[in-house]
Amino acid sequence: MATVELINVSKSFGSVEVLRDINLSLEKGKFVVFVGPSGCGKSTLLRMIAGLEDITSGELRIDGQPMNEVLPAKRGIAMVFQSYALYPHMTVFENMSFGLEQAKLSKPEIEARVQDAAKMLQIEGLLDRKPKQLSGGQRQRVAIGRAITRDPRVFLFDEPLSNLDAALRVDTRLEIAALSERLPDTTMIYVTHDQVEAMTLADRIVVLNGGIVEQVGSPMDLYESPASEFVAGFIGSPRMNFLKGGVAEAHGAATYGIRPEHIALSDERGDWSGRVVLTERLGSDTFVHVEVKGVGPVNVRVEGRADFASGETVYLSPDPASVHLFDPQGRPVVRSVTP
């Protein structure tokens, strides 16, 4: 059964339409990630679900109930803001209990809920501190803890990791994944523009672009069968190679897409030959940028270490099964693969 349903939802700010005809049905207990480039309307969509923005047209339902006119506090949702939005003058405990007092819970009940959430996030020792006495990562935990105490049906995150440094971002990402395991009945909706976060966390990814939904699917669906050139370019790192001209026309398409990891590289023979322009060594992988004659620049991923000098001639063989073809509108072309 779906917990969150959006039916023909649109949003305009004045005369500017930022979201158009969004239809989504998000299953209970799933981890859903909204991903897309900056300004595509991810936050706006999330804020409409939270009730912080009005819905211009269309309907929002949670557990089958229409929610358009329901106050944010009555929707059974909790939200973690990008900026954490902690009350600066309250202690961690007060931050977490403020909403519960409002919900008229008894003192012992509030105490118990805060302690539970604090234990889950290992912030028991911080309950008497003010937000400014905490590190960024600790503030993040408090913000998540405050959301947990509300015991929501739907958990909303708006780019919760963007203010953390790289190492902490990875740790916190793992913790959020663990959290969703521990709350199997809670639907998680998570906004990010980072496709790695989307791929690692999501059960389902919703790719937004320019105010419309490009594609909805599991991470592997999106990776293996992107429904548009945009999705193909957005999902996967490093980016898919998009080749125009002769190669594409030979396959009856406008664009020929092949991921760097689906090209075999050899110094003896292959379908294409070209010169090495640059090699990027990451230790576990090496990315070789090759200028292929008559095709254009192609990025190839080689596992482990590979030593190529700039200007050296190499041979590339794309895996025919992993080629993606797109028409001039960026829609996929039905494949008739012959390399």
Q: Residues in the site for Mg ion, rule: CB under 5 A?
A: 43
Q: With respect to ligand ATP, which residue has the nearer C-beta, 43 or 286?
A: 43
Closer residue to ligand ATP (CB): 45 or 114 = 45
Q: Which of 18, 58, 78 is nearest to 208 (CA)?
A: 18
Can you tell me which of 8, 25, 27, 39 binds ligand ATP, judged by CB under 6 A? 39
CB of 257 to ligand ATP, least distance (A): 24
**Interface pattern 178-207 for ligand ATP (x via CB under 6 A):** ---------------x--------------
Q: Which of 24, 40, 96, 292 binds ligand ATP (CB under 6 A)?
A: 40
CB 191 within 8 A of CB 46: yes
Secondary structure string (H, E, C) spanning 246-264: HHHHHCCCCEEEECHHHEE
Q: Does 42 bind ligand ATP (CB under 6 A)?
A: yes
The site for another protein (CB under 8 A) is made up of 50-52, 71-74, 77-79, 81, 83, 85-89, 98-99, 102-103, 132, 146, 150
Q: How far is the CB of 132 from ligand ATP (least distance, A)?
A: 25
- CB 40, CB 15: distance < 8 Å: no
Residue 71 binding: pick among ligand ATP, Mg ion, another protein, none (C-beta 5-8 Å cut-off by kind): another protein
Helix (H) or strand (E) holding 170: helix 166-182
Collapsed DSSP state (helix, strand, coil) of residue 168:
helix
Kindly state the smallest distance separating residue 310's Cβ from another protein, in Å: 45
- Which of 261, 254, 253 is CA-nearest to residue 316? 261
26: amino acid identity, one letter: L
Smallest gap from residue 226 Cβ to another protein (A): 35
Minimum Å distance from CB 41 to ligand ATP? 4
| Nearest-approach distance from CB 123 to another protein, in angstroms | 17
Task: Report d(CA 164, CA 182) in Å as an integer.
Answer: 23
**C-beta of 74: minimal distance to another protein in Å?**
7
Nearer to another protein, 103 or 220 (CB): 103
Residue in the structure block whose two tokens are 């398409």: 253
Residue of 1, 15, 38, 167 that binds ligand ATP (CB under 6 A): 38
The strand pair at 272-281 and 313-318 is best described as: antiparallel
Number of amino acids touching ligand ATP (CB under 6 A) = 11
Angstrom distances, CA of residue 269 to CA of 3, 153, 247, 265:
54, 57, 18, 9
Paired with 204 in beta bridges are 32
Q: How far apart are CA 258 and CA 243, in angstroms?
A: 8
Tell me whether strands 77-80 and 65-66 are parallel, antiparallel or unpaired: unpaired
Give the nearer residue to ligand ATP in terms of CB position, either 22 or 254: 22
Interface residue list for ligand ATP (CB under 6 A): 13, 18, 36, 38-44, 193
